[in-house]
C-alpha cells in the first residue's frame, strides 16, 4: 500500500501526470463535451455517472474529480483488490508478495493502474466476476446469482471490461463443458444474459455502435469483422462438443501438462509471441520511428522479463500440477486466445492496440505464473532479478508517463 501511494504521489505531483496523449486527458475532453449537452459516446457510462455524482456531492470541478477517483483507485482500491485475489487463491501470504515485484516492473500493469479512466475499477469488477464464475462452475457446475450481478454492473460501468469478463465466463464454461461438469443449459443462460445486456446498450450506450463503426472498425469491413468473430465462436463451440463427445476433455489437463513439459515449449512459445509482436508493431510502426532503441528497450525491459518468467512458470507447471494456480492458468490462456483473435482481426481495425489492451487485463492473472517461474530459478538468479526490479520499475513508469507523447509528436 505504501508503494502504491508513493508511486501515485510521485507520478502525479512531481512528474505532472497526465501528459499529452493519455486516455485520462481524452476523458477530460469527453467530459467537456458532455457538459455542452453531448451524449456519452463510448465505454464507461458508470464511470461518467460516478464523476458527475462526485462533482455534485462534493462540489469539485471535473479535472479534480477525475484525479480524485484515479488516486483512490491507484493507492487503495486496486492494491486491496489484488491482495484479496491473490490471498484467496494462493493461500500463503508469501505467495502474494512474490507476485508483486513482477507486476510493478511491467508498464502494462502500471498504465491502467495509474491512469484515471473506466478501466481502473473495471479491472476490479472483472477480477471479482471471473473468480465467482470459476468457483461457481468448479463447485456447482452452473453460475450463481452473484456472478450475474457483477456481470451486469461491469456492463453498466465499462464496455471493454464487460467484454473481458464475458470472454472469461464463456471460456470457463468451455472447460467445464468438455469435462462434463456443465451442459448446454449454462450456455443458454449465459447467452440469454449477454443478449439482455446488449439490449440495455441502447439505454447505457446510445452511440456506441456509431463509435464502433466510425472509429474502430474499417467501414467496409464491419460485416467481415463480426462474421469472423461469429465463425471463431461457432468453431470453438463445435470443437468443445467434439472434445466432450469423445471424452477427451476428461484427460485434457494431463495432455496439456505433457505439452508444457516439453523442453522446446518455452522457446517455441517465445518465437510465436515474437512474431505476434512484429505483426502488431507493423501497424504501429509510425509512432516508433526516430526513437532511441535503447530507450525502447529500457521501457520494455520489465515487460520482457515478465514474459520470460511467465513462460518459465508455464513450463514448470508442465512438470508439477499446482491446484492453487488453476484459476490463473485458465484465465491467462483464455485472454491469450482473445488477444490472438484481435491480432488476426487487426487489418479490419482502425485502432491497432486492442491486443495490448487485453494484455493489461491478462497481466493480473499471469503474475502468479511469473512468480512460479521465478521460484524455480537458482538462488543467485532470484536475488539478481529482484535487485534489478527498481530499475525496471523506473523504466516502466517512464514508459507510462512519456510514451503517450510519442503520439503527439507523430501527429505534430
Q: Identify the H or E element spanning 186.
A: helix 184-204
Interatomic CA distance for residues 217 and 205, integer angstroms: 17
Specify whether the CB–CB gap between 403 and 339 falls below 8 A. no
Range of the domain at 106: 2-410
Q: Identify the H or E element spanning 216.
A: none
Closest CA to 64 of 12, 126, 137: 12
Interatomic CA distance for residues 320 and 376, integer angstroms: 11
Low-confidence ranges of the chain (pLDDT < 70): 1, 18-21, 38-42, 93-94, 207, 209, 211, 213-216, 218-223, 225, 242-293, 295, 350-352, 403-412
Number of alpha carbons in the 13 Å side-chain half-sphere of residue 20: 8
pLDDT at 411: 45
Set of cell numbers at residue 70: 484515479
- Non-local CB neighbours of 392 within 8 Å, separated by 6+ positions: 105, 301, 302, 305
3-class secondary-structure state, position 217: strand
Helix locations, 345-403, DSSP H: 354-375, 379-402
- Non-local CB neighbours of 408 within 8 Å, separated by 6+ positions: 20, 21
* Distances in whole angstroms, Cα of residue 334 to Cα of each of 9, 190, 301, 339, 340: 35, 17, 25, 9, 10
How many domains does the chain contain in total?
Answer: 1
Q: What is the pTM of this model?
A: 0.87
Closest CA to 122 of 183, 171, 166: 166
Specify whether the CB–CB gap between 373 and 316 falls below 8 A. yes
3-class secondary-structure state, position 18: coil
Interatomic CA distance for residues 78 and 158, integer angstroms: 16
* Distances in whole angstroms, Cα of residue 213 to Cα of each of 163, 170, 226, 284: 17, 25, 11, 21
Interatomic CA distance for residues 181 and 190, integer angstroms: 16
Tell me how crowded residue 241 is: count the other CB atoms within 10 A of its CB: 13
Set of cell numbers at residue 267: 522457446
Amino acid at each position: 500500500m505504501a508503494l502504491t501511494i508513493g508511486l501515485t504521489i510521485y507520478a502525479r505531483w512531481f512528474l505532472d501526470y497526465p501528459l499529452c496523449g493519455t486516455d485520462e486527458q481524452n476523458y477530460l475532453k469527453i467530459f467537456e463535451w458532455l457538459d455542452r449537452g453531448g451524449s456519452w459516446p463510448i465505454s464507461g457510462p458508470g464511470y461518467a455517472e460516478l464523476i458527475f455524482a462526485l462533482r455534485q456531492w462534493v462540489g469539485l470541478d471535473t479535472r479534480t474529480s477525475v484525479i480524485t477517483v484515479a488516486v483512490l483507485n491507484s493507492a487503495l482500491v486496486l492494491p486491496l483488490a489484488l491482495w484479496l485475489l491473490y490471498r484467496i487463491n494462493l493461500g500463503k501470504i508469501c505467495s502474494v508478495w512474490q507476485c508483486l515485484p513482477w507486476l510493478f516492473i511491467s508498464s502494462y500493469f502500471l498504465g491502467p493502474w495509474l491512469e484515471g479512466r473506466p478501466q481502473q475499477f473495471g479491472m476490479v469488477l472483472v477480477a471479482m466476476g471471473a473468480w465467482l464464475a470459476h468457483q461457481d462452475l468448479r463447485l456447482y457446475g452452473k453460475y450463481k446469482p452473484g456472478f450475474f450481478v457483477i456481470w451486469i454492473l461491469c456492463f453498466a460501468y465499462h464496455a471493454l471490461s464487460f467484454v473481458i469478463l464475458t470472454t472469461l465466463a464463456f471460456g470457463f464454461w468451455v472447460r467445464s463443458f468438455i469435462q462434463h461438469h456443465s451442459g448446454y443449459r449454462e450456455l443458454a443462460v449465459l447467452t440469454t444474459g449477454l443478449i439482455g445486456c446488449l439490449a440495455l446498450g441502447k439505454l447505457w450506450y446510445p452511440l456506441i455502435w456509431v463509435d464502433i463503426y466510425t472509429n474502430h472498425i474499417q467501414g467496409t469491413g464491419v460485416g467481415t469483422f463480426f462474421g469472423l468473430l461469429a465463425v471463431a465462436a461457432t468453431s470453438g463451440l463445435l470443437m468443445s462438443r467434439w472434445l466432450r463427445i469423445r471424452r477427451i476433455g476428461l484427460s485434457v489437463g494431463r495432455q496439456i501438462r505433457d505439452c508444457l513439459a516439453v523442453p522446446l515449449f518455452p522457446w517455441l512459445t517465445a518465437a510465436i509471441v515474437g512474431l505476434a509482436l512484429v505483426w502488431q508493431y507493423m501497424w504501429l510502426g509510425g509512432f516508433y520511428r526516430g526513437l532511441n532503441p535503447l530507450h525502447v528497450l529500457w521501457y520494455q525491459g520489465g515487460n520482457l522479463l515478465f514474459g520470460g518468467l511467465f513462460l518459465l512458470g508455464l513450463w514448470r507447471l508442465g512438470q508439477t500440477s499446482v491446484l492453487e494456480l488453476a484459476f490463473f492458468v485458465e484465465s491467462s490462456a483464455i485472454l491469450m486466445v482473445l488477444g490472438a483473435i484481435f491480432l488476426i482481426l487487426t487489418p479490419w481495425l482502425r485502432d491497432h492496440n486492442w491486443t495490448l489492451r487485453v494484455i493489461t487485463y491478462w497481466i493480473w492473472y499471469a503474475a502468479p505464473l511469473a512468480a512460479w517461474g521465478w521460484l524455480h530459478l537458482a538462488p543467485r538468479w532470484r536475488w539478481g532479478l529482484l535487485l534489478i526490479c527498481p530499475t525496471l520499475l523506473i523504466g516502466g513508469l517512464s514508459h507510462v508517463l512519456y510514451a503517450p507523447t510519442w503520439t503527439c509528436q507523430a501527429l505534430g
